[in-house]
Amino acid sequence: MIHGIGIDMVKVERMRKAVERWGERFLRRVFTDDEIAYSYKKAEPWLSLSVRFAAKEAFIKAIGSEIAVALTDIEVMNSASGRPFFRMKDGVEAFFEEKAITCAHLSLSHEREYGVACVVLEKL
């Protein structure tokens, strides 16, 4: 059964400008060390940062307003095959257990101008 669905889109240029303006302070507030490292290994880190931000926003939309979530408590990772997935921390893990949410499906895509993410939360 589906617990929630979320989608979000981020303009890549907006992400670039936010990082240029706020720098490390912005990055550390929104992304984990692993997300930052992964993105900056890319030729255009703004694409990876944009889809990761979109994924976090889509995730928050999928859970609704049931709990407050810090953006760094939701980490967007990639499997060895490249498939994106979430690694959740602290209260998010507890929320999943409480609501019997068993899976968070994540799909990411980006073009030069936009990054988009779709999240489906599945429960027993």
Q: Which member of 61, 89, 99, 105 is catalytic?
A: 61
Please tell me the predicted confidence (pLDDT) of residue 65: 78
Determine which helix (DSSP H) or strand (DSSP E) holds 33, and give its type and residue range: helix 33-40
Q: Which member of 3, 56, 105, 110 is catalytic?
A: 110
Is 61 catalytic? The answer is yes
Burial class of residue 40, CB neighbours in 10 A (0-12, 13-18, 19+): exposed
Domain ranges of the chain: 2-123
Please tell me the predicted confidence (pLDDT) of residue 121: 97
Please tell me the predicted confidence (pLDDT) of residue 90: 80
Average pLDDT (20-26) is 95
Residue showing tokens 């984990």: 32
- pLDDT tens, 65-121? 788 889 999 999 999 999 999 999 888 999 999 999 999 999 999 988 999 999 999
pTM of the predicted model, to two decimals? 0.94
Instruction: Enter the tokens of residue 7.
Output: 């989608």
Residue 50 — pLDDT band, cuts 50, 70, 90? very high
Is 17 catalytic? The answer is no
| CATH no. for 2-123 | 3.90.470.20
In the chain, the amino acid numbered 42 is: K
Percent of the chain residues past pLDDT 90, beyond the cut: 89
Determine which helix (DSSP H) or strand (DSSP E) holds 78, and give its type and residue range: strand 74-78
Mean pLDDT across the chain, nearest whole number? 95
Taking the C-alpha atoms of 61, 62, 68 and 72 in order, what is their torsion angle to the nearest 10 degrees? -90
Please tell me the predicted confidence (pLDDT) of residue 119: 98
d(CA 96, CA 99): 5
Please tell me the predicted confidence (pLDDT) of residue 9: 98
Residues linked to residue 67 through DSSP beta bridges, in sequence order: none
